[in-house]
Amino acid sequence: MTIPVHLVDDDRDLLRATAQTLQLAGFDITTFTSGREAIAALDEDFPGVVVSDIRMPGMDGLELFAQIQGLDAEIPVVLVTGHGDIAMAVKAIKDGVYDFVTKPFATDRLIQSVRRAAEKRSLVMENRRLRAAARDVEGDLPLIGQSRAMLRLRDMLRQIADTDVDVLVTGETGTGKEVVATLLHRWSRRAKGHFVALNCGALPEQVIESELFGHEPGAFTGAQKKRIGRIEHSSGGTLFLDEIESMPPESQVRMLRVLEMREVTPLGTNEVRPVDLRVVAAAKVDLGDPAQRGDFREDLYYRLNVVSLAIPPLRERRDDVPLLFGYFAERAAKRFGRDLPQLSAAVSRHLSEHAWPGNVRELSHFAERIVLGMQPEEVSGAGKAAAAEAVPLPERLERFEAEIIRETLRSHGGDVQQSLAALGVPRKTFYDKLQRHGIVRSDYAGKKG
């Protein structure tokens, strides 16, 4: 991009000559013969540099500088002056004038000064743009990514967040489906209401039903107290149905009804309660594909799929890998009170060559390990046996634990109850551990072995 330079001088001949010089140096020049005209043509988003003579009738160069400061103190101003103004020059520089060039000047001197000023301005503008983007993407839950797919995704999110349309989010594990669902909620008027999440894959059918629809006392054995269902609880907010592909068939029928009628009937009642509903559902498989859909109802799929957002796997948007890695490493360094480590060639290579089957989640764990100074064996390239010696005990224990959990899930076909019983840990601990190790329960569903 050519940087615009606004050139101000009441001496028209000199103005024309200087304009030519700067044009040849590659700048985009607009000329003004008075400070008043010049200030009128500026605003705070002006991406360039102002070069002005000091001695001018009416508004002089110093006054023009003062007015520009009021508009945007970071627009660089280069002042041009005759001999003998050294004291003034020193004061002006202190006040924030970018540079002083004395007449008659060597053209190189002016060009260099303007070039540096232009670079500085570009940096300022770039920083502002990044900061604005970060603000947009709301501090604590950023959706990072500058790949085309992510830019498009963010655009879509912004467009549909504040509509009441139901959304189906698909993507492999760890691609950011929950992040997207949360943003849809936060960027909508519904942010005042609750964001209510239910993982349809983690609960047995009966629990799902009473969780979703609520129940009256005595609706079924064990239902002692009345329970407000999550659908109702989400009224005015957002209902996030995670792993919707695992919703039991019975519940699917009821859910379809809820989506169509926008009302809910708690178990054990005939009462019909209207709900102000917005559903965001997430699936790891393409429900539009009959082969992947399994026993998921086609009609429910079409009902949910008013708008669908597909988040591509990380390996299909490799441009985002360094960006995400940088973000996670910085966050981890802050959290663990460590310095950001230098990137070794091996780590860089791993970043660009690894396929990231666990997607963004895997990458974030990787970044944390690097910050903690653990050289993962896939990076150290030292081979398994050698690596085992180099790996510190805590990490070996971690890996061992992850392996046991995977093994247990595998042998119970992903069944949570059975795995819990086999491992002898509380449910919450179990889910925490899955999360920490990046283990996805549904990967083991129905595959006993």
Ligand X SMILES: Nc1ncnc2c1ncn2[C@@H]1O[C@H](COP(=O)(O)OP(=O)(O)OP(=O)(O)O)[C@@H](O)[C@H]1O
Q: Which is nearer to Mg ion, 199 or 419 (CB)?
A: 199
- Applying CB under 5 A, the span of 69-77, 131-139, 147-155, 173-181 interacting with Mg ion comes to 173-181
- Applying CB under 6 A, the span of 110-118, 172-180, 219-227, 372-380 interacting with ligand X comes to 172-180
Left, alpha or beta for 375 (phi > 0: left; psi -120 to 50: alpha)? beta
- Applying CB under 5 A, the span of 134-142, 176-184, 299-307, 342-350 interacting with Mg ion comes to 176-184
Of the candidates 14, 69, 66, the one whose C-alpha atom is nearest the C-alpha of residue 44 is 69
User: Is 174 one of the binding residues for ligand X (CB under 6 A)?
Assistant: yes
Q: Which is nearer to ligand X, 177 or 412 (CB)?
A: 177
* H-only helix segments in 214-358: 230-233, 249-261, 290-293, 298-304, 320-336, 345-353
User: Is 280 one of the binding residues for ligand X (CB under 6 A)?
Assistant: no
Q: Using an 8 Å Cβ cutoff, are 87 and 66 in contact?
A: no
The residue within the footprint of ligand X, chosen from 35, 48, 76, 145 (CB under 6 A), is 145
> What whole-number distance in Å separates Cα of residue 21 and Cα of residue 5?
12
> What whole-number distance in Å separates Cα of residue 316 and Cα of residue 320?
9
Of the candidates 184, 151, 159, the one whose C-alpha atom is nearest the C-alpha of residue 169 is 184
- Applying CB under 5 A, the span of 177-185, 210-218, 268-276, 372-380 interacting with Mg ion comes to 177-185
User: Is 177 one of the binding residues for ligand X (CB under 6 A)?
Assistant: yes
- Applying CB under 6 A, the span of 83-91, 154-162, 173-181, 394-402 interacting with ligand X comes to 173-181
User: Is 443 one of the binding residues for Mg ion (CB under 5 A)?
Assistant: no
Residues forming beta bridges with residue 263, ordered by sequence position: 274
User: Is 143 one of the binding residues for ligand X (CB under 6 A)?
Assistant: yes
Q: Using an 8 Å Cβ cutoff, are 214 and 264 in contact?
A: yes
* Contacted by 241, from Mg ion, ligand X, none: CB < 5 to 8 Å by type: none
Q: How far is the CB of 360 from Mg ion (least distance, A)?
A: 11
Q: Which is nearer to ligand X, 173 or 210 (CB)?
A: 173
Q: Two tokens at 298?
A: 């086609």
User: Is 142 one of the binding residues for ligand X (CB under 6 A)?
Assistant: yes
- Applying CB under 6 A, the span of 26-34, 140-148, 395-403, 420-428 interacting with ligand X comes to 140-148
The residue within the footprint of ligand X, chosen from 14, 125, 144, 422 (CB under 6 A), is 144
Residues contacting residue 126 through CB under 8 Å, at least 6 positions apart = none
Q: Which is nearer to Mg ion, 187 or 431 (CB)?
A: 431
> What whole-number distance in Å separates Cα of residue 220 and Cα of residue 50?
77
Residues contacting residue 408 through CB under 8 Å, at least 6 positions apart = 419, 422, 423
- Within 330-369, the residues that bind ligand X by CB under 6 A are 360-361, 364
Crossing angle for the helix pair 393-411 and 416-423, to the nearest 10 degrees? 130
Q: How far is the CB of 188 from ligand X (least distance, A)?
A: 18
Q: Provide the CA 351 distance to its chain's centre, in angstroms.
A: 19
Residue 168 DSSP code: E
User: Is 284 one of the binding residues for ligand X (CB under 6 A)?
Assistant: yes
Q: Which is nearer to ligand X, 89 or 280 (CB)?
A: 280
The residue within the footprint of Mg ion, chosen from 178, 395, 398, 443 (CB under 5 A), is 178
Max distance between CA atoms of the chain, in angstroms, equals: 97
Q: Which is nearer to Mg ion, 173 or 235 (CB)?
A: 173
Cis amide linkage into residue 104, ω under 30° from 0? yes
Number of neighbouring beta carbons within 10 Å of residue 308: 18
Of the candidates 433, 430, 185, 174, the one whose C-alpha atom is nearest the C-alpha of residue 314 is 174
User: Is 440 one of the binding residues for ligand X (CB under 6 A)?
Assistant: yes
* Contacted by 175, from Mg ion, ligand X, none: CB < 5 to 8 Å by type: ligand X
Q: Which is nearer to Mg ion, 178 or 377 (CB)?
A: 178
Contact footprint for Mg ion (CB under 5 A): 178
Contact footprint for ligand X (CB under 6 A): 142-145, 171, 173-179, 284, 360-361, 364, 440
